[in-house]
A and B are shown apart, each in its own frame.
Chain A
Amino acid sequence: MNREDVKKKVIQTIHQCAPELEGVSMDENSIVNTDIGVDSMEFIYIISKLEGQFNMRIPEEEWENISTLGELVDAVMKYANNASVPSESSNDSSKS
């Protein structure tokens, strides 16, 4: 998956976790905790969904460093590097 594909999937996940943001334009610099209406709990939800979808784990210490959509995409790219990405319809979580 290239960066654009990952970005598309991250935006899709944000919309899935916060449906009220459908139609809100987002770019690389959009702040994904307050600016576009994602609060800290939704942010955690988005991260956990992405981790399930990309079968990877972003260390918690790094969460605080993720502010923008671009940084979130970078983190997914970094940690999903060697993981195979499931299809759109696949289940998002294998936890517990």
Chain B
Amino acid sequence: MAAYMFKNFHDLVDTWKGNNDPALEWREENDASRNSYEKKSITYDELFREVQDETKRCLRSNYSCELIKCAHKKEVVVRIFADVLAGNTIVLSDELSSVEKLRHEAVETSADALFSAGGTQSEELKNAVFASMPVRRSDYPAPSDGCEGDLIFFTSGTSAQGKAVVLSSSALCSAAWSGQSVLPCGPTDTLLSIIPLSHVFGFVCSLLWGLAYGACVALGGGRRHIYDDCKFFQPTILPIVPAVIFHLLKASALNDELKCVLIGAAAPDGQLIQDLRDRHIDVRLGYGLTETGSGVALSQTQGDPFVLEICPGNQVQISDNGEVKVKSLSLMRGYIKKMTHGLKINPHVDAQGWFYTGDLGTIDEQGFLHIVGRMSDVLVLPDGTKIPCSQYERILSEMLKSNEVAVIKQNGHGVLVVGLGVDIDQANQALRQFNRNRERSQQLYKVVEYGSKLPRSSTGKLQRWAICI
């Protein structure tokens, strides 16, 4: 039977009423000193009631755009739906976001409130984030739907700060429907949610999809429990990124009940896919962007995992220069653009409604999509981290007083390659200093000596692709 496409969150949440199947599961600590935990759950009907009550509270509030620290907690899930139903726009921020990052996101989106599932700590955080900011009502533009708020996701970006992407609840419901049409889940499934809900892949594939089609969503216990969540919750479906599933597999942390792994955010290597298939796990690779509300195309159960079937609700074409362009029911409203007075939402599509993805790809005779790489020079690591090569090279060149530096990917890590004339000890020292000011995921892994001059084009442009190490 064809999946039903929910019009928006109101439409979706209404179907939870009277449903006594488990909607959410999470772990609760029995005794911290003994590291022992108990599984707690809530039914769809109970979730419906909690969302209704929270919506009333949100309606009484005096904010219109709320920043939400997206921990995998029931309170956060309830707040997300309640805010949107109350007509408040929400900005989904990583649960580990620093005060500086939250401040940046608040300024960029004109957020005027913060929600964090942290009791009194939450108040302290709120004060720190909004400290010395002028008290003002958010000037976020009116949501697209008249009654429901928008959802804003930051792209991981090519530099420290990504773009703010505005998606409507109906676009996200379309994305969930699109996934359900090719990879159905249902009440017999437990879907483990451990990837960040602040990324659209995590939000759609590890939360919304499950809650829209009746699966039980198990909310992971955060970094500390990433290696034991599978054995604890025994999921049947695991949306994940390559770097994490690689380590879970290596540590024998996967459960026997797991039947499907949905990989997104970056392309895994073939061996990883084979290792999972050897465990009789259906491995699916998803292709999509924040701007397209996650999934545009999905790989098949068997055969070449890098051959992608276009999901319903999406059209894909390849432009003359090889760039993948997309029309989608789940396409963003646009990027937020700061104006002198207030904000504007810039749709960023051409006159025919095509969104240009920045990815290089081809479509074969059977209509399957093959992604070749990025048009820009950004390295995408297996965990989805994006390394802006040119920017890093500029900084390291200055530190080493040499332009014989290149940043490339090796075995899934960003590495610094130094050409002839650069002292290796100095390079190692520079890299330590360079890494010190960066988040761990944004650091470079090591220095590699190239042994000769780095390859360059006739115009002197560095040819990273020609560096063989």
Chain B stretch 369-402: residues in CB contact (< 8 A) with chain A: 383
Q: How far is the CB of A1 from chain B (nearest CB, A)?
A: 19
CA gap between A31 and B27 in the complex, in Å: 33
Q: How far is the CB of B246 from chain A (nearest CB, A)?
A: 8
User: Which residue of A34, A45, A60, A95 is within 8 Å of B35 (Cβ)?
Assistant: A95
Judged by a CB distance under 8 angstroms, whether B338 is at the interface is no
Judged by a CB distance under 8 angstroms, whether B8 is at the interface is no
User: Which residue of B35, B247, B413, B443 is within 8 Å of A41 (Cβ)?
Assistant: B247
Judged by a CB distance under 8 angstroms, whether B448 is at the interface is no
Interface centre among A47, A48, A51, A55, by most chain B C-beta atoms within 10 angstroms, is: A48
CA gap between A41 and B224 in the complex, in Å: 10
Shortest Cβ distance from A17 into B: residue = B251
> Would you call B247 and A95 a contact (CB within 8 A)?
no
Chain A stretch 27-51: residues in CB contact (< 8 A) with chain B: 31, 33-35, 39-42, 44-45, 47-48, 51
Shortest Cβ distance from A36 into B: residue = B446
CA gap between A51 and B222 in the complex, in Å: 16
Which of B56-64, B130-138, B227-235, B287-295 lines the interface with chain A?
A: B227-235
Chain B stretch 7-43: residues in CB contact (< 8 A) with chain A: 27, 32, 34-37
Judged by a CB distance under 8 angstroms, whether A87 is at the interface is no
> Would you call A51 and B243 a contact (CB within 8 A)?
no
Judged by a CB distance under 8 angstroms, whether A93 is at the interface is yes
> Would you call A44 and B223 a contact (CB within 8 A)?
yes
Cβ of A52: which chain B residues have Cβ within 8 Å of it?
Answer: 35
Number of interface residues of A (CB under 8 A): 24
Cβ of B432: which chain A residues have Cβ within 8 Å of it?
Answer: 31
Chain B stretch 410-427: residues in CB contact (< 8 A) with chain A: 413
> Would you call B227 and A96 a contact (CB within 8 A)?
no
User: Which residue of A34, A35, A39, A55 is within 8 Å of B243 (Cβ)?
Assistant: A39
CA gap between A95 and B225 in the complex, in Å: 9
Cβ of A40: which chain B residues have Cβ within 8 Å of it?
Answer: 440-441
Interface centre among B32, B243, B247, B383, by most chain A C-beta atoms within 10 angstroms, is: B247
> Would you call A41 and B34 a contact (CB within 8 A)?
no
> Would you call A94 and B243 a contact (CB within 8 A)?
no
> Would you call A44 and B441 a contact (CB within 8 A)?
no
CA gap between A39 and B251 in the complex, in Å: 14
> Would you call A34 and B37 a contact (CB within 8 A)?
no
